[in-house]
Amino acid sequence: MLRIFRIDKCLAKTSNRILLNGRFGSFNRSLVRFVSTKPNIVTKNDGKRYSGSTVALYFTLGLFLGTSIITYKLAKNPPEFLFPHSSTTKLAEISSPRYGDPDKVVKELKNVLSADQIRSTKETLETHSDSSFSTHHATPDQRPVAVIFPNSTEEVSLVLKACHKYKVPVVPYTGGTSLEGHYTPTRKGISVDLSRMNKVLAVHAEDLDVTVQAAVGWQTLANYLKSYNLMFGPDPGPGACIGGMVGTSCSGTNAARWGTMKENVVSLTVVLADGTIIKTKNRPRKSAAGYNLNGLFIGSEGTLGIVTEATLKLNVKPKYENVAVISFPTISDASSTVAQFVQHGIQLDAMELLDDKMMKYVNVSGQTTLKYDEAPTLMLKIGGTTKEAVKSQINDVKRISKENHQNSFRFASSDAEREELWNARKVALWSTINYGQEYIDKDIQVWATDVAVPISKLCECLTATKNEMNETGVAGAIVGHVGDGNYHAMILFKREDRPKVERIVRHMVDGALKAEGTVTGEHGVGMGKRGFLKQELPPDAIDLMRKIKFALDPYRILNPDKVFSIDPKDKGE
């Protein structure tokens, strides 16, 4: 045993010397002084033996203390190979995320939420995983194990705290109208449905702003604001809610006049990945205080935080506004007319283009009471503060349209007719899907995608897309918020024809980028445009986005795999 003791004492001296001379600092010296007194006490035991359990105890204690010291030091000063001191995060530098058991999240949430706030029926899981109009579809093993229905920002925070604790993926859901696979899950986890957070919280009419919860639909908001003679600018497809509109930075038919979501958000309340609740700013229209956090979250598609409330800019409704519907012989004539409106400085409230196929689908679907010429058509909103101003713009519109070979010019004679004329644009997507299911295949697929280009390139780009659709033999239509160069292709296809559609979309995007445009004007990236984003932006720009993502969401639980890849094993791009 004397031999064992000498070895033990020798090891103690050696370890003390390492600790004292190493990189662990004064804390370790204090620890060594404490530990080094033990052998002195032991030497006075005059031949007492050390049992095996005592030796094991000393060994375990030393191992525990050593591990604790190293862990403490690594936490305070992590090595560079774990956290590179670079401004970007390259995909090749990271490892695949490791996710936990979502059932543990559900079990924990059952202790703090009511039973009706947690659902896992087959129907609920399916509606929160897929849609007939999405570009991407979840596999059975990617669908969530439960859908959570929080009633408040604080409850959203509870959900995210649990997901963060167990490293479980979470996908936010509001209106369920996104088109590029934004709410399609890619990893088994939790879906957070904000539909119960649908209140208008405050209208500040004198300041021209309103505060709403995330699941307030823009149509509901428009009706609510009528009594104030106010309007919210962005107006995307029916069913869209404010939370998703912020997430995709969408716009709609009014964008050319009233701007996109980026121009219409005053402040946001956001719940971060670990459950932290932040507010981006106060209510002034103008602020130079700190970073532009609104800009960080608008367009982030739920990958950086979950928006639960938004304060939005409002506008006074035009005192006089009318709708004109103008048909043309060709789509080239219609798009040339739009370019001339812009170049002549005619400030219209909205400019929409629908091609001949789209007008046919609207007529056949029966979703409007009116019938339209089945020809390329412009739908315009013409507004102003005086009748004279509106009349002057109408005359300019008529003149330019006539110069571009218009077929017909239809003008609303009442408020009811104005609403009905414009309704054809609002039901475009649903009319297309309805036509496909009725006349092509009950299992018809639709790929609705968009790009945006400079106005001067609009005619060239959308004509090329339409020609390729015709040559390929797939059904579909071209529509667009053409006042700002944003156009959409709604392509109908059978499942076996998906490669043809992918080729059309690829050429559409290539044409937009060649024209110095963007891969998406308002739909967002989601899953459908991830690969194309790499064509538009340099690698370092995407690596910077990834760095921001990792800073705010280190476990990669928020809407994973959207916008860009977070997993080096992901070959989806």
Residue range 103-317+537-561, CATH number: 3.30.465.10
* pLDDT category of residue 370 using cuts at 50, 70 and 90: confident
Residue 57 reports pLDDT greater than 90:
no
Q: What is the pLDDT of residues 30-42, one digit of tens each?
A: 433 334 444 444 4
Task: Return the number of other C-beta atoms located less than 10 Å from residue 23's C-beta.
Answer: 8
Distance CA 325, CA 354 (A): 10
The 10 Å CB-count burial string (b at 16+, else e) for 126-157 is eebbbbebbbbebeeebbbbbbbbbeebebbb
* pLDDT category of residue 511 using cuts at 50, 70 and 90: very high
* Cβ atoms 548, 564 nearer than 8 A: no
Q: What is the pLDDT of residues 59-113, one digit of tens each?
A: 777 777 777 777 666 566 655 555 567 899 999 999 999 999 999 999 999 999 9
Indicate where the chain has its CATH 3.30.465.10 domain(s). Answer: 103-317+537-561
Indicate the pTM of the whole model.
0.84
Residue 441 reports pLDDT greater than 70:
yes
Distance CA 312, CA 301 (A): 18
Nearest to 93 by CA among 77, 81, 109: 81
Percent of the chain with pLDDT over 70: 88
SS3 at position 477: strand
Q: What is the pLDDT of residue 66?
A: 75
Q: What is the pLDDT of residue 81?
A: 53
Residue 20 reports pLDDT greater than 50:
no
Distance CA 392, CA 412 (A): 16
* Among the four given CATH numbers 1.10.3080.10, 3.40.462.10, 3.40.50.1000, 3.40.220.10, the one describing domain 320-514: 3.40.462.10
* pLDDT category of residue 53 using cuts at 50, 70 and 90: confident
* pLDDT category of residue 54 using cuts at 50, 70 and 90: confident
Distance CA 547, CA 554 (A): 10
Give the range among 60-69, 180-189, 253-262, 337-346 with minimum mean pLDDT. 60-69
Q: What is the pLDDT of residue 98?
A: 96
Indicate where the chain has its CATH 3.40.462.10 domain(s). Answer: 320-514
